[in-house]
Amino acid sequence: DADVTQTPRNRITKTGKRIMLECSQTKGHDRMYWYRQDPGLGLRLIYYSFDVKDINKGEISDGYSVSRQAQAKFSLSLESAIPNQTALYFCATSDSRGRETQYFGPGTRLLVL
Amino acid sequence: KQEVTQIPAALSVPEGENLVLNCSFTDSAIYNLQWFRQDPGKGLTSLLLIQSSQREQTSGRLNASLDKSSGRSTLYIAASQPGDSATYLCAVWYSSASKIIFGSGTRLSIRP
């Protein structure tokens, strides 16, 4: 079974719609991250959370919000989706008690029409 | 500005060759550096992580080195195999700004 899971794996939505991407992990890690990947731009950090009560903006947080519902769950919301948010989204986890190696989920491919 | 650069963007070599992938960073005040591989349409798989205080890490046929003074890291792959074909990404974590920056990757193709 995958240690870091993301749902949905693929999503098509329309401009202006609100959508939520979910991430769950069974690794027992305290830190979780959301990234987006665009061709030619690499991965960029959207938000990260070092524990349940800690939420931090990353490099490109505008237009996104997050919720850390539990240590194992971290959700990313697009309040009003726009076409330039079309991208591949990844969730990742790391353990502050360890070497902080980041472990990635399989990704969610989002298309905003 | 903190930047991470990977050159070349693409590399094709015959099977069996030893090869080196490069990663350079502009700010040497790093917390750690991590190498990943990404297969097409898939997530990232962690290969090696080097802490700021370390010079290198090894795992099987892979060896990663870190030279903070010159702002460089290399990933050495010994006896390359077709299964090594993937995109290799390096990522630098800056603890002072709690920021992680990824390079754009090197797309590696190993020819049988």
pLDDT digit of tens for each residue in chain A (113 aa)? 569 999 999 999 999 999 999 999 999 999 999 999 998 778 999 999 999 999 999 989 999 999 999 999 999 999 999 999 999 999 999 988 877 788 999 999 999 99
Is B33:B21 a contact under the CB 8 Å cutoff?
no
Shortest distance between the Cα of B16 and any Cα of chain A, in A, equals: 29
Taking the Cβ of residue A45 and every Cβ of chain B, the question of whether any pair is shorter than 8 Å is answered with yes
Q: What is the DSSP letter of B79?
A: S
| Residue of A33, A43, A101 with shortest CB distance to B46 | A101
Taking an 8 Å cut-off on Cβ atoms, the answer to whether A42 and B102 are in contact is yes
Measured between alpha carbons, how far is residue A3 from residues A53, A94, B68 in Å?
A: 22, 12, 32
Give the DSSP letter string of A88-104.
Answer: EEEEEEE-TTTT---EE
Q: How many CB atoms lie within 10 A of CB B64?
A: 24
Closest approach of B99 to chain A, Cα-based (Å):
7
Q: Between the CA of residue B100 and those of A19, A101, B18, B30, what are the distances in Å?
A: 26, 12, 29, 10
